[in-house]
């Protein structure tokens, strides 16, 4: 018999809006063979019955059931994480940055490593590993930077398709102010960019994998290159990613290189690179006028607090961006950031917001600047999806969205999380269940601050199991 529907049963947690947590207790989610969520039934005991009621033409043998036993009360489903900014090619350097800051870090650590991935075997080893690692940490969508090399960028796209992660693949574009051993001419860059777009859209043809135009950052891109990329983005309706306003020395360099532009953001805007499908990493030192411009253009921002702390770049004022209606997600920014875990990035986002709050004199403002556990879990999931302009496809559990999910298990004896008997919840979030609600929120905080990949039991992208932490007891 051919499988026509999979039903997942257990407790589902997601963040449908900033600061809001939704807990769906003993719920069945039905997923079609194309990975789309077809129905959600709350407060249900019998997942198979729900499936057969949903589609009366189905036979039981055509339905697969993934049920978390009620006894496994420390387990819940959460949407897969979205990493809005990650340099796959830099993964071998995770943790290796010494006391450098952005510009010397690029020269000392980053450009030599990226250049070495021209060797296809090196690229294969690195890209396979980074995929396994991010999937094991619950990342179901990632916006990747590869290197300037087309062949190995195409290999990365192929590995993503094979392993099943949803991914944007950004072949890096740089044609000025870069080392002789790691640069392309404008002509070469145009050709290799087309090679990657053509491979992904005409050969690979996996709708979960998309190309993203990737001017590295303004200093390494000529005006001609940026104009050409801006035009290509418009003509082909492509996604764009780049870095913006990360480090104060970088800001001075940009002002020197582009004296005709009002600000760093205007450099990109003048070349038509700020669109609704653009995601901008860092945005640490933006002026109010630049924030207004990003809002006007509908760009997303990738907040990378581990990277910003490691490279001493500064603190992004996330609450200000959110208050201005800008979509913000989280980025690991490997290897400016040392961790491949979006959960770890979410934790750091919360802590950085508290550092910003400490600088506020007014207690009311202090409170507002703080990001809560619920806020950073939103940024890690739906916020990230919205920043990448795919908020209608993934990021929360809704009918017609894709089933990109992770099963979290806080009870694994080998993990770092200890849940005591009085801290348990039935996950029942209905009115009148205030104590349960409080316990559930405390468990989410415990996961955020003490959890890691040992608690990521299983991961699905579009309904396909892409990671399984073998020791788990869930069937
Ligand atoms: O965090 C960063 N990582 C990079 O690789 C990079 N290149 C330019 N600017 C950058 N910032
Ligand atoms: Zn980066």
How would you write the pLDDT of the chain (475 residues) with one tens digit per residue? 799 999 999 999 999 999 999 999 999 999 999 999 999 999 999 999 999 999 999 999 999 999 998 888 899 999 999 999 999 999 999 999 999 999 999 999 999 999 999 999 999 999 999 999 999 999 999 999 999 999 999 999 999 999 999 999 999 999 999 999 999 999 999 999 999 999 999 999 999 999 999 999 999 999 999 999 999 999 999 999 999 999 999 999 999 999 999 999 999 999 999 999 999 999 999 999 999 999 999 999 999 999 999 999 999 999 999 999 999 999 999 999 999 999 999 999 999 999 999 999 999 999 999 999 999 999 999 999 999 999 999 999 999 999 999 999 999 888 999 999 999 999 998 888 999 999 999 999 999 999 999 999 999 999 999 999 965 454 4
Ligand 1 atom nearest the C-alpha of 336 is 1
Q: Which helix (H) or strand (E) holds 249?
A: helix 248-257
- The CB of 87 under 6 Å from ligand 1? The reply is yes
Cα(98) to centroid of ligand 2, in Å?
17
Say how many Å lie between the CA of residue 252 and the centre of ligand 1: 16
Q: What distance in angstroms lies between residue 109's CA and the mean position of ligand 2's atoms? A: 13
Mutate to test the pocket of ligand 1, among 101, 243, 303 (most ligand atoms within 8 A of CB): 243
Ligand nearest to the CA of 302: 2
In CATH, the architecture of 5-79+397-468 is Roll (2.30)
Residue 106: CB within 6 Å of ligand 1?
yes
- Residue identifier of the C-alpha nearest atom 1 of ligand 1: 336
Residues 331 and 283: beta-carbon distance below 8 Å: no
Nearest CA owner, ligand 1 atom 7: 216
Query: 85: Cβ below 6 Å to ligand 1?
Result: no
The CATH code that applies to domain 81-387 is: 3.20.20.140
Please work out whether the CB of residue 437 comes within 6 Å of at least one atom of ligand 1.
Answer: no
Query: What is residue 69's predicted lDDT score, i.e. its pLDDT?
Result: 87
**Ligand with smallest separation from the Cα of 281:** 2
List where CATH 3.20.20.140 sits in the chain.
81-387
Could you tell me which residues come within 8 angstroms of residue 404 by beta carbon, excluding any fewer than 6 positions away? 35, 79, 80, 140, 141, 166, 394, 395, 460, 461, 462
- Cβ of 310 less than 6 Å from ligand 1: no
DSSP state, residue 36: B
Distance 206 CA to ligand 1 centre (A): 28
Whether residue 110 has its Cβ less than 6 Å from ligand 1 = yes
Q: Which residues of 361-390 are buried (b: 16+ CB within 10 A; e: fewer)?
A: eeeeeeeebebebbbbbbbbbbbbbbbbbb
Q: Which helix (H) or strand (E) holds 268?
A: helix 264-270
Report the pLDDT value the prediction gives residue 474, as an integer from 0 to 100. 42
In the chain, CATH 2.30.40.10 covers: 5-79+397-468
Please indicate whether residue 217, judged by its CB atom, sits closer than 6 Å to ligand 1.
Answer: yes
Among protein residues, the one with the nearest Cα to ligand 1's atom 3 is 336
195 CA to centre of ligand 2 in angstroms: 23
Is any atom of ligand 1 closer than 6 Å to the C-beta of 333? yes
Q: How far is CA 400 from the centre of its chain?
A: 21
Q: Is the CB of residue 215 below 6 angstroms from any atom belonging to ligand 1?
A: no
Ligand 1 centre to CA of 248 (Å) is: 13
What is the β-pairing status of strands 209-215 and 63-67?
A: unpaired
Ligand 1 closest atom vs CA 145: 5
Ramachandran assignment for 288, one of left (phi > 0), alpha (psi -120 to 50 degrees), beta (any other): alpha
Neighbours of 132 (CB within 10 A): 16
What atom of ligand 1 comes closest to residue 219's alpha carbon?
8
- Residue 246 Cα to ligand 1 midpoint, Å, equals 8
Ligand at minimal distance from the CA of 331 is: 2
State the closest ligand 1 atom to the C-alpha of 85, by its place in the atom list counted from 1.
Answer: 1
Alpha-carbon span 239 to 250, nearest angstrom: 24
Give the Å distance between the CA of 141 and the centre of ligand 2.
16
């Amino acid at each position: 018999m051919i499988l026509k529907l999979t039903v997942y049963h257990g407790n589902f947690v997601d963040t449908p809006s900033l600061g809001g947590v939704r807990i769906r207790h003993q719920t069945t989610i039905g997923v079609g063979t194309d990975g789309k969520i077809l129905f959600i039934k709350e407060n249900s005991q019998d997942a198979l019955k729900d499936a057969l009621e949903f589609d009366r033409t189905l036979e039981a043998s055509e339905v697969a059931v993934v049920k978390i036993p009620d006894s496994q009360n420390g387990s819940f489903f959460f949407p897969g994480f979205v990493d809005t900014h990650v340099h796959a090619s830099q993964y071998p350097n995770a943790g290796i940055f010494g006391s450098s800051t952005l510009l010397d870090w690029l020269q000392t650590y980053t450009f030599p490593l990226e250049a070495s991935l021209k060797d296809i075997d090196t690229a294969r080893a690195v890209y396979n590993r980074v995929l396994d690692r991010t999937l094991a940490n619950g990342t179901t969508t990632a916006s990747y930077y590869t290197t300037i090399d087309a062949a190995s960028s195409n290999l990365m796209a192929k590995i993503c398709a094979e392993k099943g992660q949803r991914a944007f693949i950004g072949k890096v574009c740089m044609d000025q102010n870069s080392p002789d051993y790691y640069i392309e001419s404008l002509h070469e860059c145009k050709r290799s960019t087309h090679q990657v777009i053509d491979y992904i859209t005409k050969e690979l043809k996996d709708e979960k994998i998309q190309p993203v135009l990737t001017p590295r950052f303004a200093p390494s891109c000529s005006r001609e290159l940026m104009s050409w990329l801006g035009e290509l983005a418009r003509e082909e309706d492509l996604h764009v990613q780049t870095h913006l306003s990360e480090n104060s020395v970088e800001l001075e360099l940009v002002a020197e290189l582009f004296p005709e532009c009002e600000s760093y953001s205007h450099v990109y805007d003048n070349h038509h690179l700020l669109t609704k499908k653009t995601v901008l990493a860092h945005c640490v030192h933006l002026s109010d006028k630049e924030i207004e411009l990003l809002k006007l253009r509908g760009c997303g921002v990738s907040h990378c607090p581990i990277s910003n702390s490691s490279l001493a770049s500064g603190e992004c004022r996330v609450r200000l961006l959110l208050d201005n209606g800008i979509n913000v997600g989280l980025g690991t920014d490997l290897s400016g950031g040392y961790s491949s875990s979006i959960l770890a990035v979410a934790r750091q986002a919360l802590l950085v917001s508290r550092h910003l709050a400490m600088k506020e004199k007014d207690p009311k403002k202090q409170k507002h600047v703080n990001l809560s556990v619920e806020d950073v879990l939103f940024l890690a999931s739906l916020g990230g999806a919205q920043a990448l302009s795919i908020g209608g496809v993934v990021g929360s559990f809704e009918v017609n969205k894709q089933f990109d999910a992770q099963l979290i298990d806080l009870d694994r004896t080998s993990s770092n999380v200890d849940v005591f008997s009085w801290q348990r919840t039935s996950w029942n979030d209905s009115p009148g269940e205030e104590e349960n609600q409080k316990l559930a929120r405390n468990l989410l905080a415990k996961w955020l601050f003490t959890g890691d990949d040992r608690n990521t039991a299983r991961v699905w992208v579009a309904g396909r199991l892409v990671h399984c932490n073998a020791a788990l007891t869930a069937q």
